[in-house]
Chain A
Amino acid sequence: MDRNKTSLLKVENLTKIFKIGGLVLGEKLTAVDNVSFQIESDKPVIFSVIGESGSGKTTLARLILKLIEPTNGKIFINGLDISRVKSKEDFLNFRRLVQPVFQDPYDSFNPMKKVDNYLLKTALKILKVSKRKAFSLVDDALKSVGLSFEKITGKFMNQFSGGELQRISIARALIPKPKLIVADEPVSMVDASIRMNIMNLFKELNINFGINFIYITHDLSTAYYLSDIMAIMYRGNIVEIGPSSLIFADPLHPYTELLLKSIPEVGKEWKEDIKLSGIETEEYGFEGCKFYNRCPYADEHCKKSRPILIDKGDGRKVACFKYDDNLSRALSKSLK
């Protein structure tokens, strides 16, 4: 591989530990557990992150957005080590590169401030441009989501519908023309009609403006529709990563298999029963594979040691002993 080629995103041994409960008696929860991966592509990508609720998706997003600091590990965006972003100046530069879209559009705006002013201030602050230039940038951003400055002038947050607000918060993320947008469940609040419009907008922005997306969702059908690459998380680990089309056609990890079998699809009625976990919180602390107690293929080995992501050669990586040869088995043992 070309050593000089910089990846859009490179994550190395990333760990985030939360303390839960009191300081003395409190327990620790490893929400993101030694995660490493990178996204490399010649063209702009849409990367989906899928996983159980509580598997660490939002935590990963917040780490990448530098809203929280990792307990351990490093993140590089476009070659930039984001732990070196320290001064206010650095942070503004960083925000020019990476922008968030949050799950709840109501969280993104201040109800006391007029939305148009807020957008203008964002442009002025991050981009340090003249007022006139800021105005045209905001107007452009609004136009790309089917609105315009004129349509929003003088209005407060509560004077927009949920769908309008969702589009405005996407427009806000577009103002600095970022390299990467991290969108955490951006359509979970909106209904079917607006959902497809937003999905199509992401596609257009990706193709026409070269914006990369990290799309975090529970909704596998939109992830399939939208993304080039996806990662599946389970209890703080990435268990499978690779081209979406391959993963959907032929899932490797037993959890991915279970996930795809659980999609409620029109035309395919569920028959078989399903086993849910009874010991969720304990699973974060498992020494071996965190899925072993629910996995139909598990053996003693899975209980004792943790599988690491191994390259399948087709662009995919999977962390499961089913696909592991003896060498990596020994390796993962000696790592401990």
Chain B
Amino acid sequence: MPEKILKVDNCRVYYFTSRGINKALDNINFEIYKGEILGIAGESGCGKSTLIKSLYGMILPPLKVVEGKILLFDNNDTIDLFSLSDESLRNLRWKYISYMPQGSMNVMNPVVRIEEQFFEVLDKRTEGTKKISKNQAREIISNYLRDMGLPSPSKLLKSYPHQLSGGMRQRVILAMVTFLNPKIILADEPTTALDVVVQKGILMMMKKIQRERKNTLIFVSHDMGVHYQMADRLLIMYAGKIVELGPKKAIFENPLHPYTKFLIDSLPRIGEKEKRKGISGEPPDLLSPPHGCRFHPRCPYKKKICEDREPKFIKVSDDHFVACHLFSKKGEMNYG
């Protein structure tokens, strides 16, 4: 059994908006293993970013934890993330767990030089130890940037974020996020706005760091090709729920949930020109999600029970979980 580093225990995390309650994470249960790359995929608006924010303990209004816990396991300690004070949470960040938000290329402070933004991160490391000079700090950072394959570090440190291309900014952020060697790295769509060449460069850099240092990497992408390159396991979400979780190979070769099947089959592949169909119907409104299985209005296999009862998230085989009425505990299935 792989060692677990994090456990999401029966979490409900909702947005309380003026239009109603958005059940962005509803009854979420799963574990993350130490040293794995966990890929997260799913429909836009299904709660992927909300899950990542929750894992970072970043619960800001109108988001609220309605129920459940997120537990972190560090050696023999167990940390209950939602019960931490702001101060302890701050101490955890960058050093133990770090986060690249969605669209992070645009969230860097545009009027602060890269070097200042790095100094802040470095400061967290030196807490308790003796202060170092700016020049020493610069040297440490430059060396790190050089190790990460970034060009002309001293020039880079002097620039402002807006002077860099999207790809270069994303490489700098990745360097920042990994600088203090955190155990867990959260990355929300780290390459979505980039072209494939730059994307490949950044993904390979991420994977290299992760393989060398054995951190745990959790990352969101809507590109199944990216997940194929990166992930050890995949978690598929739909409308605020986890619908499937399993090893990458199993998900790609034997997807169980009808939505996962669709995700994998639908996208065109190079070299094949025959017509591919999209999925019919509209994504659900999380203010009033469908009864029963939330996928049932769009599911080609739906049965009567799917409209009435919510499917449980069950283990079908070794490490492969699904929430769909087509599957029973023993993993027998019936697509009839």
Contact = CB atoms under 8 A, between A and B. Distances in A.
B333 to A, nearest CB: 22
Contacts of B194: 53, 218
Interface stretch (A37-45, A73-81, A186-194): A186-194
Contact of B44 (A162, A248, A267, A279): A162
A258 interface: yes
A263 interface: yes
Interface string B146-182: 0001111000000000000111100100000000000
A191 B201 contact: no
Given A53-B195, A200-B278, A266-B252, A274 B200 contact: yes
A326 interface: no
B270 A224 contact: yes
Contact of A192 (B168, B267, B282): B267
A218 B269 CA distance: 15
Interface string B188-222: 00001111111111011000000000000000001
A307 interface: no
Contact of B225 (A163, A194, A258, A264): A264
B134 interface: no
A53 B229 contact: no
A197 B278 contact: yes
A278 B171 CA distance: 11
A288 B174 CA distance: 32
A19 B222 CA distance: 36
Contact of B197 (A189, A197, A274): A274
A325 interface: no
B166 A194 contact: no
Interface string A32-60: 00000000000000000001111000000
Given A51-B195, A224-B268, A266 B225 contact: yes
B198 A190 contact: no
Interface in A239-287: 248, 258-260, 262-267, 269-270, 273-276, 278-281
B267 A200 contact: no
B264 to A, nearest CB: 7
A266 B228 contact: yes
A13 interface: no
Contacts of A190: 44
B198 A191 contact: no
A295 interface: no
A225 interface: yes
A196 B267 contact: yes
A262 B196 contact: yes
A53 B165 contact: yes
Contacts of A303: none
A191 B222 contact: yes
A195 interface: yes
A4 interface: no
Contacts of B171: 276
Interface string A197-234: 11110010000000000000010111011000000000
A194 B267 CA distance: 11
Contact of B279 (A193, A220, A274): A193
Nearest to B259: A193
Contact of A200 (B196, B224, B275, B283): B275
Nearest to A260: B270
A280 B152 CA distance: 12
Contacts of B266: 192-193, 196
B72 interface: no
A52 B278 contact: no
A334 interface: no
Contacts of A248: 270-271
Contacts of B263: 192
Interface in B18-75: 42-45
Given A53-B165, A259-B197, A273 B204 contact: yes
Nearest to B164: A280
B270 A221 contact: yes
Given A193-B262, A196-B276, A276 B198 contact: yes
A87 interface: no
Given A266-B252, A274-B200, A191 B195 contact: no
A218 B268 contact: no
Given A264-B228, A269-B228, A194 B278 contact: yes
B232 interface: no
A53 B45 CA distance: 25
B279 A54 contact: no
Contacts of A163: 282-283
Contacts of A130: none
A191 B268 contact: no
8 contacts: A51-B195, A53-B198, A218-B195, A263-B225, A264-B223, A266-B225, A269-B229, A274-B204
